[in-house]
Structure formats: C-alpha cells, structure tokens
Amino acid sequence: MRNMIPYQPSNLLDEFQSELNRIFGGGDASGLVTSQWTPSVDIKESGDRYVLYADIPGVDPKQIEVTVENGVVTIRGERPMPLEEKDERWSHLERRHGSFYRRFTLPDGTDPERVEARGRNGVLEVVIPKAERALARRIAVES
C-alpha cells in the first residue's frame, strides 16, 4: 500500500524562485497559489483510515479550506497579521502569518467522498477513510 505523500509538482528552480520571492518580498502576479508559510503536518495510518494533523494555531477553523480533487487533498487559508493597538508596535515577530497552502496526494484505495475535517486547539484534523474494497478482510475457509 502506498503511503500518503506531499504533492510537490514544482521543480528545484521553482523552489529557488519561491525562496527569493519570500526573502525579497516579491509576489506572483500569475494568479498561482503561493504560501507565505507552511504548517507542519503529521500523517497517521490505521486499519481503516489516514488522519492528517496540521498545526495551524491562530486560524479560525471556519476560515480553513479543505478540498479533495483528482486524488489530491488541499489545505489552504490565512493567518492574519497581528494587530497593533494605539501607542504599541511590534518589536519582534517570529510567528509566521499570511497565506498557507499544502497539497497531499491520496494513496490508492481511499474514499474521497467521506473525507472529514475539524479544527480544535490550533490543530486541523483531516480524516481520510479507506475505501471498503481496500480494507483487508478474513475469509472463512469451509470444510
């Protein structure tokens, strides 16, 4: 059984260009989806499903978009820039903000029609059930 893997259609040159854009504040005017930060993701497999956990603290779960299309799960959203109050200013920012975007190719034998997602305590949980036909079952041997 093939494991779930990140979908990465870009090549090394695209990654280099993205890094330059991030460093020098460049943007992509072509309308392609880009990320200003990347949430960390863990993926767990059990007998009947895969579960994807993405760390997305500070983002309202209602503002996270999860889609399944052509065997790919896509997670996207945005963490807003922290607001400054009157007579205050940020002197140091390490937490990333802005848009995020992750894609994962579904392994064969999953059921994209039954994918569920929920956000709790800054963690997005995406449950991807295995298709019934993909589950192993024991066959009784009659004598």
CA–CA gap between residue 123 and residue 55 (Å, rounded): 5
Convert the pLDDT of each residue in 83-140 to its tens digit. Answer: 878 888 878 888 888 999 999 998 888 999 999 999 999 999 999 999 887 567 788 8
Give a yes or no: residue 138 inside a domain: no
Give a yes or no: residue 140 inside a domain: no
Asked if the model's pLDDT at residue 19 lies above 70, the reply is no
Asked if the model's pLDDT at residue 9 lies above 60, the reply is no
* Domain range enclosing 66: 5-26+36-81+97-133
Give a yes or no: residue 141 inside a domain: no
| CATH code of the domain containing 45 | 2.60.40.790
For the chain, the domain total comes to 1
Going from the C-alpha of 53 to that of each of 69, 91, 96, 102, 104, the distances in angstroms are 19, 32, 18, 12, 12
Local structure of 95: helix, strand or coil: coil
Going from the C-alpha of 28 to that of each of 8, 10, 31, 76, 80, the distances in angstroms are 18, 14, 7, 17, 19
Asked if the model's pLDDT at residue 3 lies above 80, the reply is no
Give a yes or no: residue 55 inside a domain: yes
Give a yes or no: residue 91 inside a domain: no
Which pLDDT belongs to residue 52? 96
pTM for this prediction: 0.68
